Amino acid sequence: DAPQPTYNRVMLKISGEALMGDQGFGLNPPTVERIAQEVKSVHDMGVEICMVIGGGNIFRGLQGSAQGMERTTADYMGMLATVMNALAMQSALESLGVFTRVISAIPMDQVCEPYIRRRAVRHLEKGRVCIFAAGTGNPYFTTDTAATLRANEMACEAIFKGTKVDGVYDKDPVKNADAVRFDNVSYDDVLANRLGVMDASAIALARDNNLPIIVFSLDEPGGFRGILSGKGTYTRVGN
């Protein structure tokens, strides 16, 4: 069983909420381990893997600022939340024997590595999973934008966006039984129709650099590996 991967280097973007299981907040270790297993199974195919994990399971800047906190401070708290998630994922991956580096956009040397592009590329070449933490390091951005930025810098062939559903639909498939999934959709259609793939700055950055976004279900066991070996359902956002 050694399917040939169709990609050599990819970015996996997951939300912070993907790590919380049914807890409603924070980190659920069995869920983190399950996702780490999915990552390992792709790593085992010889694919070089970058990851960005959101922070919404712990803190979101917009929520904090809606409650009266200064926006930039709240955003820094959100970025710190992503570092915690990255460390949890590193721990889960390394307990499965996958060497991993957490690389932060905000230097915190005692905790993880600072972001140095050439060094990160080298890690990938050596087969280490690179988890990019602290978003872009700037307030007013999201981790979707961070994933797109790092994917471009690392020359990933695509961003794999793991969600609760197996692609992009014309309307919310959880609420509408007649929602239709797209096999392919253009960046411009995603923007014009406000299809909930990623925020507009992330989509524009992907479009301007011709970086495809593969939206797939993270809940489907073996789904990530399946798509990388040419199987399964997903939506490809591209030109």
Binding mask 6-45 for ligand UDP (x = CB under 6 A): ---------xxx----------------------------
Tell me: is residue 169 an annotated ligand-binding position.
yes
User: Which listed range, 77-85, 90-98, 150-158, 185-193, lies at the site for ligand UDP (CB under 6 A)?
Assistant: 77-85
The CA distances from residue 98 to 36, 41, 59, 84, in Å, are 9, 10, 28, 18
Q: Is 162 in the site for ligand UDP (CB under 6 A)?
A: no
Q: How far apart are CA 142 and CA 130, in angstroms?
A: 18
Bridge partners of 235, per DSSP, are 215
Among 136, 148, 217, 235, binds ligand UDP (CB under 6 A): 136
Return the number of the residue (100 or 143) whose C-beta is nearest ligand UDP.
Answer: 143
**Residue found under tokens 């809606």:** 66
Whether the CB-CB separation of 149 and 97 falls below 8 Å is answered with no
For the chain, the residue count is 239
Residue 6 or 201 having the CB closest to ligand UDP: 201
Instruction: For residue 75, say whether it is annotated as part of any ligand binding site.
Output: yes
- Count the residues of the shown chain that bind ligand UDP, applying the rule CB under 6 A: 23
- DSSP secondary structure code for residue 211 in this structure: -
Q: Which stretch binds ligand UDP (CB under 6 A): 23-31, 124-132, 136-144, 182-190?
A: 136-144
Burial of 181: CB neighbours in 10 Å, binned 0-12, 13-18, 19+: middle
d(CA 51, CA 29) in angstroms, rounded, equals: 18
Contact (CB, 8 A) for 93 and 64:
no
**The binder of ligand UDP chosen from 35, 79, 120, 206 (CB under 6 A):** 79
- 141 is a site residue for ligand UDP (CB under 6 A): yes
The residue ranges that bind ligand UDP (CB under 6 A) are: 15-17, 54-56, 60-62, 75, 78-79, 81-82, 135-136, 138-139, 141-143, 145-146
Provide the annotated binding site for ATP.
Answer: 13-16, 56, 60, 163, 169, 172
